[in-house]
Amino acid sequence: MPQYDSPDLSRFPNALIKNEAEYQRLCQWAKDDYEGFWAHQAKALINWRTPFKTTLDEKDAPSYRWFTEGTLNVSEQCLDRHLDKRKNKIALLFEGERGDRQAISYLELYYRVCQTANMLKEEFQLEKGDRVVLYMPMIPEAIVIMLACARLGVIHSIVFGGFSAEALHERIVDAKAKLVVTADGGFRHGQPYLLKPTVDQALAKGCSSVEATLVVRRNHQDVKYQPGRDFIYDLIVNEYETSCPAAELSSEDPLFLLYTSGSTGKPKGVQHSQAGYILWAQMTLKWVFDVQETDTFWCTADIGWITGHTYTVYGPLALGATTLIYEGVPMFPDAGRFWQIIERYKVNQFYTAPTAIRLLHKEGADLPEQHDLSSLRVLGTVGEPINPEAWQWYYEHVGNSQCAIVDTWWQTETGGNMVAPLPAWGGAKPGCAMRPLPGICAEILTPEGEKAKADQKGLLCVTRPWPSMLRTIWGDHDRFVNSYFSDVSYQGKAVYFSGDGALYDQDGHIWVTGRVDDVINVSGHRLGTAEIESAVAKHDDVAEVAVVSCHHDIKGEAIVAFVVLRDSSYDDIELKKSINTVVRAEIGAIASVEKFFMWSTPYQKSRSGKIVRRLLRSIVRKEELTQDISTLENPAIITDLESAVSMTKT
Ligand code: WTA
């Protein structure tokens, strides 16, 4: 393991957990009085309209309910309650890719959210419980619309702008959304790109629930508007009042849905609640990122992902911090853009994905030195394992060996960080997520439900409910129970299984080793192998397909497809391109296949018809094969596959 100096711990004088004893004290408190611990936090960090009566209701486990009978409004937590002390403080800093900038105060954001909420209510007749799909660039209006939904108790479901019309259509239909909010487009790589036509295509596939679309004009490209259905945001929003009463919502009312990949082809609409979610978003920002009153927090995640929800929008705003958003790509105009932004806005906490760190390291290792990054105190990573080299570069060259690196493990389903180092601890190990946060019972278990021993690979589970956990999968509660609470039992009780493998080292610290289910992680984006397989299989020349992942230096993992062809008239390169065109149309560019292995004889199934992904993954990774290959339809193919793989650079 590479050596590094301890960060300058004197830079965290106000950290909430200052040392090991503090951490142990909080963990012990949660252990001795779990509900008391959480009740205390919820009283301290949420302005309740009506105080809650029961902290945790477990009687319908695993349908847990937190803080029941309490009422609140999340947009009030993020806006109204700051107006006394912080009305002129900047809530949101925006930098467009072409350098256009906005600084929006809490008061201004409040007015914009109220106007938008009034518009949603009056123009589009939206009510508590209705669903709105957002398909947006990273612009302030996206955040305004999220908070306006929260103000009314309308459930937002954000679909990442890189998803295709087909993927968007599937999510709109599943959520039965009444309204789709989009933009004409945005700017990426210095060029305008379009979003609205993709929404048109999605709606043309049939979305009977959708009554209207709302379009924010961002890049003023020439897009078509359908009279009667499409409304232009900036033309109507200013007609509305700048105050709007916030709905009184129950702790357990849904706040948002966010679709994520599982091991079947159909994405899961992960549903989060109000109180538990907003509580943990704040606690983790304080504990893990040491966010203080004057700090500027920058999380680079798009709002289409959970990290964007919790650490770009809800967490920082609920705390009354200043949050920063950047519209574009890290490489525009060059690999110094992030460092330039950190210097300009004197960012204190920076949170990004290992893929971005590896890319910026490769493309401009010495660029951070050309900027004054001395405002930084905490550097975070999320979404995939970080390799020690990338960690080291981040620590030394971005953090100048003075910042804490927090490698945070969590998921769409967990709502916020679960396992993470704490900044004032010191002693973080490159690539290690370290220990569960106080109150979080994350444990590595064997499939039999025993606690794993040091260095023994096991399953990363959470053995007690926690406030910000998902509440269900939208419209499919059985799938919620089966996906998360049916694999592992601990002390006689079904516990939450994350889908990740992990191990304890000799110090009891947690190393996350990656997914053990059929989910792969490309550049920190979760994709289901079954989803990609069904996209590839839509190509006319594909008879069968199996998808696995291989190592990729920048993206962490890349997609490999083993394809059995029908008769193909294409040449090899054209065929690969045309399969990827289908994949992009079905899911989006993030699911493009990196490497193909094509045959005309069937090979990737066992005699019982199961796809042998594990075996194929071992072949791709050039691991020793421990699986029984005699059950294959065609075991003789293994040697051919191994030699084909050995001729490639995987
Ligand atoms: C992976 C992102 C290693 C993991 C917040 C998890 C990580 C999936 C880490 C969730 C980490 C997340 N180290 N792996 N620090 N953080 N992962 O739902 O496989 O997009 O299950 O949430 O990312 O991805 P999701």
Q: Identify which of 512, 517, 557 to mutate to test ligand 1's pocket (most ligand atoms within 8 A of the CB).
A: 512
Buried-state track 419-456, b at ≥16 Cβ within 10 A, e below 16: bbbbbbbbebbbbbbbbbbbbbbbbbbeeebeebeeee
Instruction: Indicate the residue type of 339.
Output: W
Residue predicted with more confidence, 623 or 258: 258
pLDDT at 102 over 80: yes
Q: Which numbered atom of ligand 1 lies nearest the CA of 519? A: 19
pLDDT in tens, 181-227: 999 999 999 999 999 999 999 999 999 999 999 999 999 999 999 99
Class of domain 443-515: mainly beta
For residue 526, how far is its CA from the centre of ligand 1 (angstroms)? 8
Residue with the smallest CA separation from ligand 1 atom 23 is 383
Residue with the smallest CA separation from ligand 1 atom 6 is 411
For residue 90, how far is its CA from the centre of ligand 1 (angstroms)? 30
For residue 89, how far is its CA from the centre of ligand 1 (angstroms)? 33
Confidence band of 649 (pLDDT split at 50, 70, 90):
low
Give the pLDDT confidence score for residue 567 in this predicted structure: 77
Residue ranges lining ligand 1, Cβ < 6 Å? 260, 305-307, 382-385, 407-412, 433, 498-500, 512, 514-515, 521, 526
DSSP state, residue 6? P
Neighbours of 573 (CB within 10 A): 8
How far does CA 148 lie from the centroid of its chain? 21
Give the pLDDT confidence score for residue 607 in this predicted structure: 72
pLDDT at 2 over 70: no
Give the pLDDT confidence score for residue 568 in this predicted structure: 67
Mean pLDDT on 624-635:
77
CATH of 522-647 among 3.30.300.30, 3.40.50.720, 3.10.180.10, 3.40.50.360? 3.30.300.30
Phi-psi region of 622 (alpha: psi -120 to 50; beta: other; left: phi over 0): left
The strand pair at 268-273 and 254-260 is best described as antiparallel
Mean pLDDT on 253-276:
94
Mean pLDDT on 169-191:
98
For 438, 558, 594, 595, 642, the CA distances from 553, given in Å and listed in that order, are 34, 9, 13, 14, 21
Give the pLDDT confidence score for residue 166 in this predicted structure: 97
For residue 304, how far is its CA from the centre of ligand 1 (angstroms)? 15
Instruction: Indicate the residue type of 634.
Output: N
Mean pLDDT across the chain, nearest whole number? 94
> Any idea which of 38-47, 97-106, 140-149, 426-435 has the lowest mean pLDDT?
426-435
pLDDT in tens, 400-441: 999 999 999 999 999 999 999 999 987 889 999 999 999 999
For 187, 284, 421, 466, 608, the CA distances from 417, given in Å and listed in that order, are 30, 6, 10, 12, 40
Mean pLDDT on 236-248:
98
pLDDT in tens, 327-374: 999 999 999 999 999 999 999 999 999 999 999 999 999 999 999 999
For residue 138, how far is its CA from the centre of ligand 1 (angstroms)? 22
Residue predicted with more confidence, 612 or 159: 159
pLDDT at 590 over 80: yes
Instruction: Indicate the residue type of 454.
Output: A
Query: Per-domain residue ranges for the chain?
Result: 443-515, 522-647
Q: Which numbered atom of ligand 1 lies nearest the CA of 407? A: 15
Q: 402 has which bridge partners?
A: none
pLDDT at 642 over 90: no
For residue 415, how far is its CA from the centre of ligand 1 (angstroms)? 12
pLDDT in tens, 478-507: 999 999 999 999 999 999 999 999 999 999
Strands (E), 39-170: 54-57, 65-68, 71-72, 90-95, 101-105, 131-135, 155-158
Mean pLDDT on 500-524:
94
For 135, 219, 587, the CA distances from 165, given in Å and listed in that order, are 10, 20, 8
Give the pLDDT confidence score for residue 119 in this predicted structure: 98
Q: How many Cα atoms sit within 13 Å of 211 on the Cβ side?
A: 9
pLDDT at 650 over 60: no
pLDDT at 152 over 50: yes
Mean pLDDT on 269-290:
98
Q: What is the pTM of this model?
A: 0.96
